[in-house]
Amino acid sequence: MKIVIVGGGKVGYALAEQLTREGHDIVVIDNNRKVLAQCTEQLDVIAVEGNGASLRTQREAQVGQSDLLIAATAGDEINLMCCIVAKKLGCARTIARVRNPDYTEQIRFLKNELGLSMAINPERNSAMEIYRMLRFPSFLKRDTFAKGRAQIVEVLLHPDFPYFGKPLSQIGELSRIGALICAVKRGDEVFIPDGRFALQPGDKIYATAPTLNQTGLVHLLGVEVGRIRSVMIVGGSRIAFYLAEQLLSAGIEVHIIERDPERCLALADTLPHAVIINADGSEQQVLRAEGIAESDAVVTLTNMDEENLIISMYAHHMGVPKVITKINRTEYIDVFRDRGIDSVVSPKLLTADGIVRYVRSMYNAEPEAMLALYRLADGMVEAMEFNATAHTHNLGRTLREITLKPNILIACIVREGEVIIPRGDDRLLEDDSVFVVAPAQRKIAELNDIFAPAEEHTV
């Protein structure tokens, strides 16, 4: 597909990088020559210099002949104007990044008039992701799929895990609770394990299980169960506002530390039940005075990655049970991991993932197309949800009889509301919801893409 991205900043660059890797033709519009130079030097994209909301610039970029325009500049109004112009020129679909919470209701009301196919709010999405992490603090990350009936969790195995060195096929507890370990991150390597794979100390695992069996999964993995009652947020950004709203509505005590007095007043006005502290949250004495050691969780949301890292390390040192860190520059992820900071949120990656998921659904609009996409192991593995249809190959055959492409795993099947963690005797049937795990470099747009070539025409 031909996709035009307006704005080559953090989000725009991340989108261009991902979408070129998936084989799309990308045009980047920006009025900053240095930004465009970076894009063209490092990515296979076409650059157009100019104002992305300008009719002349969009015509030069051939937006009218494009399948999709993504407006990802720093200005909400510019992004909305870009989409209006693109739709008038004949662009099939448009996506706008809109960050101002005041625009949420208007966008819903005027979506068609604005020519929007999708509006995405990075700050709100990040807050929702952090809230999910805080609801289940034992897991580094947790996502649900199949309408919430199944889940995939990320866990760093405890040193006392009793099954180290034992093949997965011999861990009967996994079968008893209906769980499957679908990916393992070991150092810089990622594995899609089979039954012969043996876990080692230091492994980070990704496991699927029915949501109803969460207690059994927690017991098996030996993770601590604790409820978050108080959260300290360092940095009064929009993410902090959205997150505090959700936490307060759940009855969780919230303290926000922000150095800007005017921002503190705005937060105090909109969040009357939160405790707002006007201070520098990077200073240890401030954190100690505000009770960091007694907090159940600390979330660092300043605008500086280095500051977030230092504060998170200090919170970890003070024994805070759950520490979540926001980063902008994803190259710092490994640095954070090396310092023991495992729960990391990147707004630009969350935004890019949401848009890529939409693009993939556009790419194949048939019933077999991808329903959901989740990134695991720092983006090295993807978990995807599909519907099996009458056109799906190998329906009715046992999984033991089916040959999948290398390093692909069917991690879960949902049939008429029942969650099935598949074994060799299970089968794919029409209308099943199928959850597949594969390396990110594989291009899987529909369910039939998982089968080995020899199987592709076998019914």
- Residue 260 belongs to domain with CATH number: 3.40.50.720
How far is C-alpha 369 from the chain's CA centre?
Answer: 19
Report how far residue 6's alpha carbon sits from residue 94's, in angstroms, rounded to the nearest whole number: 11
pLDDT tens figures, 103-135: 777 777 777 777 788 889 989 999 998 998 898
Question: Considering the domain boundaries, does residue 331 fall inside one?
Answer: no
Q: Are residues 216 and 136 in the same domain?
A: yes
- Residue 175 belongs to domain with CATH number: 3.30.70.1450
Q: Are residues 148 and 172 in the same domain?
A: yes
Q: Are residues 184 and 257 in the same domain?
A: no
Q: Are residues 284 and 212 in the same domain?
A: no
Look at the pTM and tell me if it is higher than 0.85.
no
Question: Considering the domain boundaries, does residue 315 fall inside one?
Answer: yes
Task: List, in order, residues 6 or more apart from 249 with CB less than 8 Å away.
Answer: none
Q: Are residues 202 and 240 in the same domain?
A: no
Q: Are residues 234 and 216 in the same domain?
A: no
263 pLDDT band, cuts 50/70/90, is very high
Q: Are residues 215 and 235 in the same domain?
A: no
Provide the domain count of the chain. Answer: 4
Question: Considering the domain boundaries, does residue 266 fall inside one?
Answer: yes
Bridging pattern class, strands 46-49 and 25-30: parallel
Report how far residue 122's alpha carbon sits from residue 127's, in angstroms, rounded to the nearest whole number: 9
pLDDT attached to residue 330: 67
The larger pLDDT score, comparing residue 50 to residue 156, is at: 50
- Residue that is last in its domain, among 268, 303, 320: 320
> Which pairs count as long-range contacts for 56-62, CB under 8 Å and 24+ apart, including other chains?
57/29, 58/4, 58/29, 58/82, 58/85, 58/86, 58/89, 59/89, 61/4, 61/27, 61/29, 62/2, 62/4, 62/27
DSSP state of 30: E
Report how far residue 54's alpha carbon sits from residue 72's, in angstroms, rounded to the nearest whole number: 15
CB 371 within 8 A of CB 446: no
Q: Are residues 107 and 168 in the same domain?
A: no
> CA 265, 269, 270, 271 torsion: positive or negative?
positive
Among 261-265, 328-332, 432-436, 445-449, name the most confident range: 261-265
Report how far residue 347's alpha carbon sits from residue 372's, in angstroms, rounded to the nearest whole number: 19
Q: Are residues 11 and 115 in the same domain?
A: yes
pLDDT tens figures, 17-58: 989 988 899 999 999 999 999 999 999 999 999 999 999 999
- Residue that is last in its domain, among 298, 320, 342: 320
Domain that holds residue 298: 230-320
Question: Considering the domain boundaries, does residue 344 fall inside one?
Answer: no
Q: One-letter amino acid identity for 216?
A: G
